[in-house]
Amino acid sequence: MSQPNPTNLSNTTIPQTFLLNQALHNASPVTPTRQPAVSDSSSPPQPSVQPSYEPPLDNPQLPPYTQAARRREDTPFDNGPTRHSSPSLGFSPPRGSSPGGNSDHTTLPTNSGSPAASATQTSGRVRVSQKNQPFGRVHGAMRGTLEWNVPRRRAKEPYETSRELRTKTFKERMERILQRCEEVANVTGCWLYISSQMATSNHGFVHFASDALVRDADQRMNDLHAFHSNMHTALSRATVRDVAAVEMENAELKDKLEKQEQKMDKILSLLSTSGVDLSRL
C-alpha cells in the first residue's frame, strides 16, 4: 500500500485549527531559554548574546490592535524623551568671538538708524584748541602788555545773585585754584603769586606765593604783599561806602513814595465827601 509523500502538500487540505494556531504563534513573542555557559579555563568568558524576536509591523496574520501597539512602541514621542550619548548644552559663542578660541572683546550690535544710537555717536566732549574755541576765550589773561589767547574749556556761567551762594562758591573754587597753583609751582619752579577777595567779605584777602618767588624776591615780597593788602582794603571800603550810599538813597526814595501815597489818599477822600463822581476821573 502506497503512503502519501509529506513534501507534496498541494493536494492536501489544511485544517482551519492549524492556521489559527499558527497565527497565535506568530502574534506572541517567543522567549528564548538561556543556555548555561560552559566554563573554559583556557579561554576568557564571552558575553552571551540574547536573541530577540520582533514580529513585522505589517504582518497580515496579526490582529489590527497588535499592529497599532507595535507602531506606538516604535514612536519615540510616546516612549518619553529620547536620550543621546552626547547631550547638547545649547550654548552658542557670543557674537564677535572667534570660533577657534576665546575672544577678549565682544562686538555689540549697533543700530545706526535709531535716534538713540545717533545721539550716542555724535554726543561727547567738544575738543577745544587754539583754533577751535566754541566757548570763547578767557578775558583778562595777559602776557606782559599783550593779551594771551586762552580758550575756555566750558561755557561761561552767569552771575550768582545770592550772596550766600557766591560766598560758598568762592570758598570751594578758590581751594581748588590754590591746590592747582601749588602743583604748578612745585612741578615747574615758577614765580607764582595770586590774590583774591570777595567785595562783601569780612575776612582777610586770599593770597598764595610760590616757594621760588618767596626765596628769590626776598624783601620785595613784602612790598608786593603790602600792595595787594592795601588794594583789597581800599576796594572793600569803597564797596562798603557804595553799598551804604545806595541803601541810604533807597530809604530816602521809599520815604518820599510813602508821603506821596498819603497825600493822594487825602485828596481822594476829600473828593468823595464833596460829592464828586470818582469813576469819571
Which range among 61-65, 146-150, 260-264 shows the weakest confidence by mean pLDDT?
61-65
User: How far is Cα of residue 255 from the mean position of the Cα atoms in its chain?
Assistant: 61
Residues 203-227 have pLDDT tens digits of: 899 999 999 999 999 889 999 999 9
Residues 120-135 have pLDDT tens digits of: 344 567 788 888 888 8
Q: Please report, rounded to a whole number, the percentage of residues in the chain having pLDDT higher than 90.
A: 22
Q: pTM, whole model, 2 decimals?
A: 0.43
Half-sphere exposure of 8 (CA within 13 A, CB side): 4
Q: Cα(66)–Cα(70) distance, rounded to whole angstroms?
A: 6
Block residue for cell numbers 612741578 = 187
CB count within 10 Å of CB 208 equals: 17
| Better-predicted residue by pLDDT, 199 or 17 | 199
Q: Cα(269)–Cα(272) distance, rounded to whole angstroms?
A: 5
Provide Rg for the chain, Cα atoms: 55
Contact between residue 159 and residue 170 where contact means Cβ atoms under 8 Å apart: no
Which grid cell is 92?
552658542
Please check the confidence at residue 200 and state whether its pLDDT lies above 50.
yes
Q: Cα(207)–Cα(77) distance, rounded to whole angstroms?
A: 89
Q: Cα(102)–Cα(79) distance, rounded to whole angstroms?
A: 40
Q: Cα(157)–Cα(166) distance, rounded to whole angstroms?
A: 12
- Binned at pLDDT 50, 70 and 90, residue 83 comes out as very low
CB count within 10 Å of CB 103 equals: 14
Q: How many residues does the chain have?
A: 281
Q: In the chain, where are the structural domains located?
A: 162-273
